Structure 1
Amino acid sequence: MRIIFMGTPEFAVPVFQALVDAGHTVVAAYSQPPRRAGRGKALTPSPVQRLAEQLGVAVRTPVSLKGADEQAAFAALNADVAVVAAYGLLLPRVVLDAPRLGCLNVHGSLLPRWRGAAPIQRAILAGDAETGVGIMQMAAGMDTGPVRLEGRTPIADKTAGDLAQELSAMGARLMLDVLANPDRYPPVEQASEGMTHAPKIDKAEARLRFEGSAVQVERQVRAFNPAPGAFLEVNGERIKVLAAHVDPDTAGAEPGIVVGGALEIACAQGVLIPTVVQRAGRSATSAEEMLRGFPIPAGTRIA
């Protein structure tokens, strides 16, 4: 098939690569424009743009698809289908209708639950038992289109990074199945009940809040790993918490107070025990190792 691929972050890369490996002709790759990143704030192309350049696929990085010229250029590619994975731009109706088979999206949730920009993180934060990925026939509206095929997986103790890798690989396999057998997987309208919204993650959400249960705080740790990184502050220094476990026993102390020498932190219910941490400008390490050079005694208040 002649395919337009549309994606931006690392989540989209396995889907793009799978299309090429399967022998499809990717006539163009659309991605978000390069962003300034790193200490030098240099313009950095997205993972999808980098892969496209490696593969010799033409790259387009418009800031919008609302203009008539961009829409005409898209239609002129004469694609059979557009495959979309975490692209990040709204597709107007004229774009959705341009390819012969429309636009198919790899969405990282079990629709209609978690429509929106951050379905993986929101599923972890909500304590969902399972999540999945769906191949959705795109329609006007935020993730409202019918679903052709979906896969499921338990969340268990996985981080957002773990799930993103798993769901991306799963989505690539499902997308190839749908493209190979479109008549076998007709679009099925989403359920009319159970819709939830997954708004983009605000960096302020990554600050750990101990006024809730330790279970909820541990979900924050997993939901924001690898980015933006859950964190706490001790004496004005920010420390990322990359992994933690929960002691369900209530500490009997005010939330946010360290109640033991292994960085046990009291919550409103239970105790959070960080196990992998990272100080600013340093590599990730075990909490035990950090505490040898940066003691945080019992009674310390965590901000």
Structure 2
Amino acid sequence: MRIIFMGTPDFAVTALDALVAAGHDVIAVYTRAPKPAGRGKTLTRSPVHACAEALGIAVHTPRTLRDLPEQARFAALGADVAVVAAYGLLLPQAVLDAPAFGCINIHASLLPRWRGAAPIQRAILAGDVMTGVTIMQMEAGLDTGPMLLTGETPVDGKTAGNLTAELATLGATLMVQVLAGNYQPVPQPTGGVTHAAKIDKAEARLDLALPAAQLERAIRAFNPAPGAHVEIMGERLRILAADTVPAPAAPGLTLDDRLLIGTGAEALRPTLVQRAGKPAMGLRDLLNGWRIPAGTPIA
């Protein structure tokens, strides 16, 4: 098939590679424009941009698709279908209608649960037992289109990084199946709709008044980004992994000299942490160079 691929992060690269490997003719890639990154604020291409250039595919980086000339340019490509995976721009109706078979999206949740920008993180935060991928026909509403194929996987104790990689592979596999088969669209159920709001960086500061189990989920949901953290002895400490430990509620205090952190219910024992400007390290390595006595306030 003649495909326009639309995506931006690493999650989408997996699908682009899979479509090319399956023998489809990816005639163009749409991705977000390069952004300043790093200390030098160097303009940096998105992972999809870099992948497309390596594959020799033409890349388009419009700031918006609402302009009529941009919509005409898109339609003139004469695609059979557009495959969308975490693109990051809204698609106007004219764009949705341009390809012969419309636009098909790889969405990282079991719709209608977690429509929106951050379905993977929200599934972990909510304590969902299962999540997955839905291949859906796109329409004007936010992730409201009919479903073509779904696949699921347990959340277990996975981080957002682990789960994103797993769902990227699952989504790519399902999309290849959809394009090779004859899957009929099925309307989404009307019940069970939830919204996966974009992650705000402020959410990554752990509220130690919450139960330890909820905080442990937040640590996994914000790993690798934006990174769950606390303030301790005047320094921000990122917590990349932690265990819950039975203990009396003591929000915001260390309960021993091995960084057992009191919370609203039970306690947290970090197992992987990162100080500012330093690499990630285990708890033993942290405490070898930093004495944190019992009763130390943490915020």
Provide structure 2 residue ranges, at least 5 long, that are not aligned to the other structure. none
Report deviation, 1:262.
1.8
Mapped partners of 2:135, 2:207: distance in 1: 35
Give the 3-state SS of the residue equivalent to 1:290 in structure 2.
Answer: helix
Provide structure 1 residue ranges, at least 5 long, that are not aligned to the other structure. none
Within the candidate set 233, 238, 248, 1:251 is matched to 248
Superposed CA offset, 1:266-295 (max 9, x none): 111011111000011110000111111012
Query: Which residue of 1 is the match for residue 229 of structure 2?
Result: 231
Give the 3-state SS of the residue equivalent to 1:136 in structure 2.
Answer: strand
* TM-score, with length taken from structure 1: 0.98
Paired letter, 1:62: P
Within the candidate set 272, 278, 285, 2:281 is matched to 285
Matched, 1:108 2:108: yes
Q: Is the 8 A contact 1:208 1:232 kept in 2?
A: yes
Query: Which residue of 2 is the match for residue 74 of structure 1?
Result: 74
Query: Which residue of 2 is the match for residue 214 of structure 1?
Result: 212
Report deviation, 1:3.
0.3
* TM-score, with length taken from structure 2: 0.99
Pairing 1:18-97 to 2, within 5 Å after superposition: 18-97=18-97
Number of equivalences:
299
Report deviation, 1:296.
1.3
Mapped partners of 1:239, 1:31: distance in 2: 34
Mapped partners of 1:286, 1:171: distance in 2: 33
Paired letter, 1:90: L
Give the 3-state SS of the residue equivalent to 1:241 in structure 2.
Answer: strand
Paired letter, 1:250: A
Q: Is the 8 A contact 1:231 1:240 kept in 2?
A: yes
Mapped partners of 2:36, 2:231: distance in 1: 27
Query: Which residue of 2 is the match for residue 166 of structure 1?
Result: 166
Report deviation, 1:251.
2.5
Mapped partners of 2:287, 2:122: distance in 1: 31
Give the 3-state SS of the residue equivalent to 1:18 in structure 2.
Answer: helix
Instruction: Name the Cα RMSD after superposition.
Output: 0.7
Query: Which residue of 2 is the match for residue 11 of structure 1?
Result: 11
Paired letter, 2:290: F
Matched, 1:301 2:297: yes
Mapped partners of 2:100, 2:294: distance in 1: 65
Report deviation, 1:256.
1.1
Superposed CA offset, 1:17-53 (max 9, x none): 0001111111110001111111111111100000011
Report deviation, 1:261.
2.0
Paired letter, 1:140: A
Pairing 1:170-189 to 2, within 5 Å after superposition: 170-181=170-181, 183=182, 185-189=183-187
Give the 3-state SS of the residue equivalent to 1:43 in structure 2.
Answer: strand
